[in-house]
Structure formats: structure tokens, C-alpha cells
Amino acid sequence: MTTYLYPQNLKATANLWLWSLRNFAILCISALLSVLALVQLGLMLPAAAALCFGFLTIRPDDTTVLDFIRYAVRYFISTQQEFIWRV
């Protein structure tokens, strides 16, 4: 019997360190642009935004921190909770 080391028959998303590849590419480009903005214009705001994006898109298991925030907002704020009282 042959055992392959492919993640879930090649159906899993590709990850690089703690981010998905799409988020890692966005993070690298935003970090590069924020360094350029810091050097040329002296602005720290793009670097802070890139750092926040990097933190919110960390993917330790299958969900990101941003997904947890979305679930919490949906549960506590945007959707109506339904309670049924039975005697």
C-alpha cells in the first residue's frame, strides 16, 4: 500500500507559513508599498495597516482571526437570535 503525503487529495488550500498564498502575496505587496511610503513620505499608517492585515489573516488551523471576528459579529449583532420557550 502506497501512502502519499498530499494534503487531503490535493483539495486543501495551499498555505505558506501561517497564511494562505493569496493573503501572503497581498501581505508582501502591502509591506513593500508601506516601506516605500515610510521612506519616501514618512507615513507610518500603511505599515500599521499591513501589520493589522497580517495579524487578521493568520491561519493556524482552518479559520483566520478575521473569520472569528466575522462569526462573532454575525452571531451577536447582525442576525436575530430565536429562542423557543417550552413548558
pLDDT tens digits along 46-82: 999 999 999 999 987 778 888 999 999 999 998 888 8
**pTM value?**
0.70
Domain ranges within the chain, ordered by starting residue: 13-78
- The H-or-E segment that residue 16 falls in is strand 15-16
Higher pLDDT, 3 or 68: 68
Q: Please check whether residue 34 is in contact with residue 50, taking contact to mean a CB–CB distance below 8 angstroms.
A: yes
DSSP bridge partners of 15:
20
What is the arithmetic mean of pLDDT over 23-28?
A: 94
Contacts of 16 (CB under 8 A, 6+ apart): 24
pLDDT category at 7 given cuts 50, 70, 90 is low
